[in-house]
Structure 1
Amino acid sequence: MPRPASISRRGLLGGGAAAVGLGGAFAVGRASEAAGSSAGSGSVESERYALRGQHQPGIVTPAQDRLHFAAFDVLTEDRDELIDLLRSWTDAAEEMMAGRAVGSGAIGSFDLPPDDTGEALGLPASGLTITFGFGPGLFATTEGEDRFGLADRRPAGLEDLPHFPGDALIEARSGGDLCVQACAQDPQVAVHAIRNLARIGFGTVSVRWSQLGFGRTSTTSTQQETPRNLFGFKDGTDNVKAEEVDALDEHVWIGADDDPDAAWLAGGSFLVARRIAMDIEVWDRQPLGDQEDFVGRAKGTGAPLSGGEEHTAPDFSLAGSDGPIIPTTSHVAVVHPDHHDGVRMLRRGYNFVDGTTDLGALDAGLFFLAYVRDPRTHFTPVQQAMSRHDALMEYLTVTGSAVFAVPPGAGEGEYVGEPLFG
Structure 2
Amino acid sequence: MTTPTKTARRRPAGAAPPPSIGSHFQGYLARLRGGDMGALPVLLGLLVLCAFFSIIRPNFLTAGNFANLFTQGAAVVLIAMGLVFVLLVGEIDLSAGFASGVCAAVLANLLTLQGQPWYVATLAAIATGALIGLVLGFLVAKVGIPSFVVTLAAFLAFQGVMLLLIKGGTNVPVQAAPIVAIENRYLPPLVGWLLAAVAVTGYAAAQLLRHRDRSARGLVTDPLSVVLLRIGGLAAVLGAGVYVLNLERSLNALISSNRGMPVVVPLLGVLGVALTFLLSRTAYGRHVYAVGGNREAARRAGIDVDRIRISVFVICSSMAAVGGIVAASRFSSVDANTGGSDVLLYAVGAAVIGGTSLFGGKGRVMDAVLGGAVVAVIDNGMGLLDASSGVKYVFTGFVLLLAAGVDALTRRRVATGNR
Q: Same fold (TM over 0.5)?
A: no
Higher helix fraction (1 or 2): 2
Q: Which bin holds the TM-score, normalised by the shorter protein?
A: under 0.3
Higher strand fraction (1 or 2): 1
- Using CA pairs below 8 Å that are at least 6 residues apart, which structure has the higher relative contact order? 2
